[in-house]
Amino acid sequence: MSGQSLLVPGELSPTRSVPGNIRRPEYVGKPAPSPYTGPEVQTPETIEAMRVAGRIAARAMEEAAKLIAPGVTTDELDRVAHEYMCDHGAYPSTLGYRGFPKSLCSSVNEVICHGIPDSTVLRDGDIVNLDVTAYIGGVHGDNNATYLVGDVDEESRLLVERTRESLARAIKAVRPGRQINIIGRVIESYAKRFGYGVVRDFTGHGINSSFHSGLIVPHYDSPHATTVIQPGMTFTIEPMLTLGTHEYDMWDDGWTVVTKDRRRTAQFEHTLVVTDSGADILTLP
């Protein structure tokens, strides 16, 4: 395991502005989003709009990731993704979502998810997850990936590689008629081969005109995840695997989630639409 010191909160830069002509999600400026009451199965028009949003989110993440290197701040990664989305007419979905102050989540080393970009400087040997969601055409596209910073130890590198593989296997398991717990069953069985923890309290989710529709996609084999997968459903799969426990603590900021044993964790995510024969990834650059 890496001998890096544990992460501490940095300083936040001022809130980035979004051009006035870019449509905002309904929750911006409110304490919470309105509950989603629509269907989980989407129209072809909504799915195509989500493909546009997903592509912008994927490319924004890609642009930010090009800067990842020792000495770069997570705030700088946020700036790049923010500007890319705005330049392409999209609103950064996380900005103002339940008060979140930035345009992506940057989760370093022991941070499971929802890390806030700030003055934190990436160090040689770190791993960092970027989670980027774009809102355009009235819909969201959501993706994330974990990246290596410089020369990363083998244990961390394998964790990242295997977390990416767990997502790929889960996507292949999606079929109409199966219950949604097939996704978690595939991820958990693969992770157990390596002794990894599988985070339980943060999940994949339905997504469409709503950032989080209410549909829950666990990454472990939950007996409660009995929703039957149907063509046209849109949701994310975003496994979070850990080198140790799946249990967590939360920082005082109310967002940053860290492993309780402070061991490292990795995550990957795509937004999908269910087809007649499987799943189509909507967050491809």
| HEC per residue, 146-195 | EEECCCCCHHHHHHHHHHHHHHHHHHHHCCCCCECHHHHHHHHHHHHCCC
Task: Give me the pLDDT at residue 1, please.
Answer: 43
Q: Known binder of ligand: residue 126?
A: no
Convert the pLDDT of each residue in 200-232 to its tens digit.
Answer: 999 999 999 999 999 999 999 999 999 999 999
Token pair 């087809």 in the structure block, residue: 275
Q: Known binder of ligand: residue 82?
A: no
User: Cβ–Cβ contacts within 10 Å for residue 87, how many?
Assistant: 12
Q: Whole-number mean pLDDT of the chain?
A: 97
Percent of the chain with pLDDT over 90: 98
Q: Known binder of ligand: residue 142?
A: yes
Q: Give the Cα separation of 228 and 170 in Å (integer).
A: 15
pLDDT tier, 2 (very low <50, low <70, confident <90, very high otherwise): low
Q: What's the distance, CA 10 to chain centroid?
A: 21
User: Cβ–Cβ contacts within 10 Å for residue 247, how many?
Assistant: 13
- Mean pLDDT computed over 81-89: 98
Q: Known binder of ligand: residue 246?
A: no
Task: Give me the pLDDT at residue 3, please.
Answer: 60
Q: Known binder of ligand: residue 76?
A: no
Provide the angle, in degrees to the nearest 10, between the axes of the packed helices 181-192 and 154-173: 150
Q: Are 205 and 236 in contact (CB under 8 A)?
A: yes
- Mean pLDDT computed over 34-62: 98
Convert the pLDDT of each residue in 118-137 to its tens digit.
Answer: 999 999 999 999 999 999 99
Task: Give me the pLDDT at residue 282, please.
Answer: 98
Q: Known binder of ligand: residue 155?
A: no
- Mean pLDDT computed over 103-112: 98
Task: Give me the pLDDT at residue 130, please.
Answer: 98
- Mean pLDDT computed over 88-117: 98
Structural tokens at position 208: 């469409």
45, exposed or middle or buried, with CB in 10 Å at 0-12, 13-18, 19+? exposed
Residue-range domain boundaries for the chain:
44-281
- Mean pLDDT computed over 85-93: 98
Tell the CATH topology of 44-281. Answer: Creatine Amidinohydrolase (3.90.230)
> Residue 168: what are its φ and ψ, rounded to 5°?
-60, -40
Q: Give the Cα separation of 211 and 238 in Å (integer).
A: 14
3-state secondary structure of 270: strand
How much is the pTM? 0.96
Q: Are 178 and 228 in contact (CB under 8 A)?
A: yes
Q: Known binder of ligand: residue 118?
A: no
3-state secondary structure of 79: helix
- If we measure between CA atoms, which residue out of 162, 107, 104 comes closest to residue 134? 104
